[in-house]
Structure 1
Amino acid sequence: MLKWSTLSPIERREAVAGYLFILPWLIGFVVFFAGPILASFVLSFTSWNIVGTPEWVGLSNYERILTTDPFFKKAVSVTLRYSIFYLPLEVVCGILIAVVLNQKLRGIGLFRTMYYMPFIVPKVASSLIWVWVLNPRYGLVNTLLSKIGIMGPNWLGDPDFVLPSIMIMALWGVGGSAVIYLAGLQNIPRQLYEAATVDGADGIQKFFRITLPMLSPTIFFQLVLGLIGAFQTFTPAFVAAGRSGGPLQSGLFYMLYIYNRSFQSMRMGYGSALAWLMTLFILVITVLVFRSSNYWV
């Protein structure tokens, strides 16, 4: 990097102009990204109710979370169970839909659009639709089940069905992942399939010997994004299960618990500590996923 004193007047004017061009972005970065991150880190060591003055409490928030907070363990348990079951379903469904949409058929563009549209629908709107669809008395699902003599469950009122219901709501938008997998499929050289056909490989062998190995970088990318997204699940849980997390807190996701502590209980310091613990946990899991990629990507 050249020293300012060594620059000519023209170069100095160009440098100033360059800094002025990036100044709006820098201000936005500091105000809306770096500033809030630093503020939340500092607040995690305080007790603050938004109105008064923050009181420094050191590690008390973290100690209370990890030792005496029963809802913290419940929120972690719900989020982990959701992630363990939802992520494999998202990967499998996304790949299967992408394989179907990768066929050269008339009108395939229309089907690709139809599968992608649920992904761009606002989550609040789609969650409200699913709350109606899963209504135990007049919802579409239970109405159809009653037509064949099956009594549908209370999807969002039974603790055993709250989490599966939210998974179904999330899987409705799997078209977003399918589009990414579709892009990965279209980057696989056709010559590999032609050579496999000459060698006598059938469709299943091509899928497991060519498609999945060549698609592994895309799967890895989607797995990391899906993992982060699963831990940040909030809107479907809030709309479907309410801020309390539904019956027996069976839908009390971690982000929902952060919201409750920060904005319902007005404990911003405690909520900030919860957020930083989640950040560290996601970071550790992401690092482990990156380490495992050496064996399968």
Structure 2
Amino acid sequence: MLTPALLGLGVFFVYPLIASVFFSFTRYDLVSDPEWIGLRNYEYLFTKDPKVWMAALNTLWFVVFLTPVKIVMALGVAGLLARAKRAAGFWRTLFYLPALVPPVASVVAFVFLFNPGTGPVNQILGFFGIEGPLWFNDPALAKPSLLLLGIWVMGDIMVIFLAALLDVPSDQYEAASLDGANGLQKVRYVTLPNIVPVLIFALITGIIAALQYFTEAAVASGVASGKATVGEGTGMTLGYPNGSLLTFTEWLYVRGFANYQLGYASALAVLLFVVAAVFLIFLLRRVSAFNPEGAK
């Protein structure tokens, strides 16, 4: 019964992982045979690559800011929806619908809305006498603009939180009320302990998604720079504006599939896998809900 799942795991995860590790020690262009070069790819990665650390810092920004903000906002909206008495189905559908929009379409729409010259957002701000910023064309605001997009499409996490909140036993809230607990104390001592596994799940999946952040940044760079296609990764659209949206996975894609440096791209992929595994192990070891009872 496990054979189909094990075959899929081996073909689509184990084999690509082992192949990536092997190719990371080679010079490989997808046409010629791999040439073993030892640790040269990793040496270049850590000491000579001109853009890898810029890309890593941009990706770290999304991990540090995008993931927790989405979780907090999704949890807050889920809490409000859990208390909704009238038209609860309508409001739940309304907040979930943005998550169904394809990522490319949502980014294109957001770049249009926040266009500094013709976008509705700046026009509304101008109506109130406020000079609108450049948004996706400003290196300081490009990532925060994508953060707003991330909040808008938080419906998938929100639904999970909503199910977890609705599953909290009501008798625990009643017991807390009898003990004189206020609203914040109920959240701290009743709600949060019951949804810790869901919180950790959202945190882990959010961090992994942020480490692999690609589509939104690539499309935003291409559209904001006036290019209709994202594939021109080695041109001016790369990380536009001024490298502020250059993520680690985007740089991996450029080195591997635009420059045909598959060996070096494999080294980048192995580093990304190691970082994600370290985050995962750290979180799981720190959370008591995932440890055996009584373990330290």
Find out whether 1:251 has 2:228 as its counterpart. no
Q: How has the CA–CA distance of structure 1 residues 296 and 26 changed in structure 2, closer, same or farther, with 3 Å as cutoff? A: closer
* Residue 16 of structure 2: aligned partner: 36
Residue 296 of structure 1 and its aligned partner are, at CA, apart by 11
Alignment partner, residue 278 of structure 2 = 284
Farther off after superposition, 29-38 or 71-80: 29-38
Give the whole-Å Cα distance in 2 for the aligned partners of 1:30 and 1:86. 32
Instruction: Calculate the TM-score normalised by the size of structure 2.
Output: 0.87
Tell me, in whole angstroms, the C-alpha distance in 2 between the residues paired with 1:109 and 1:136: 36
Q: How many residues align?
A: 277
Larger Rg belongs to: 1
1:26 positional shift: 5.9
Change (3 A) 1:28 1:201: closer
Secondary structure of the residue aligned to 1:248 is coil
When normalised by structure 1's length, the TM-score is 0.87
- Report what 1:272 is aligned to: 266
* Contact 2:172-2:190 at 8 Å conserved across structures: yes
Q: Does residue 263 of the first structure (1) align with residue 243 of the second (2)?
A: no
Counterpart for residue 177 of structure 1: 157
SS in 2 for 1:160: coil
Aligned-pair identity (%): 39
Q: 1:35 to 1:148 in 2, by over 3 A?
A: same
Structure 1 stretches lacking a partner, 5+ long:
1-17
In 2: Cα distance, 1:161 partner to 1:177 partner: 25
- For residues 182-216 of structure 1, give each alpha carbon's deviation from its aligned partner in whole angstroms, at most 9, with x where no partner exists: 11111111011112222333323322232122222
More helix by share: 1
Aligned 8 A contact 2:24 2:267 in 1: yes
Aligned CA-pair RMSD: 2.1
* Corresponding position of 2:39: 59
For residue 64 of structure 2, what is the aligned residue in structure 1? 84
Change in CA separation of 1:26 and 1:81 when aligned onto 2, cut-off 3 Å: closer
The CA distance in 1 between the partners of 2:159 and 2:53, in whole Å, is 35
Q: Distance in 1 between matches of 2:6 and 2:82?
A: 42
Shift of 1:168: 1.3
Q: Distance in 1 between matches of 2:203 and 2:13?
A: 25
Cα distance in 1 for residues equivalent to 2:8 and 2:207: 27
Matches of 1:155 and 1:233 in 2, distance apart?
19
Equivalent position of 2:101 in the other structure: 121
Of residues 153, 164, 173, the one that matches 2:144 is: 164
Query: Is 2:284–2:290's contact at 8 Å kept on the other side of the alignment?
Result: no
| Cα deviation digits, residues 87-136 of structure 1 (max 9, x gap) | 22112101101101112412211211121111122111111111111111
Q: Which moved more, 1:247-256 or 1:26-35?
A: 26-35
8 Å contact kept, 1:142–1:152: yes
Structure 2 residue runs of 5 or longer lacking an equivalent are: 223-232, 292-296
Distance 1:30 1:293 in 2: 29
Alignment correspondent of 1:225 = 205
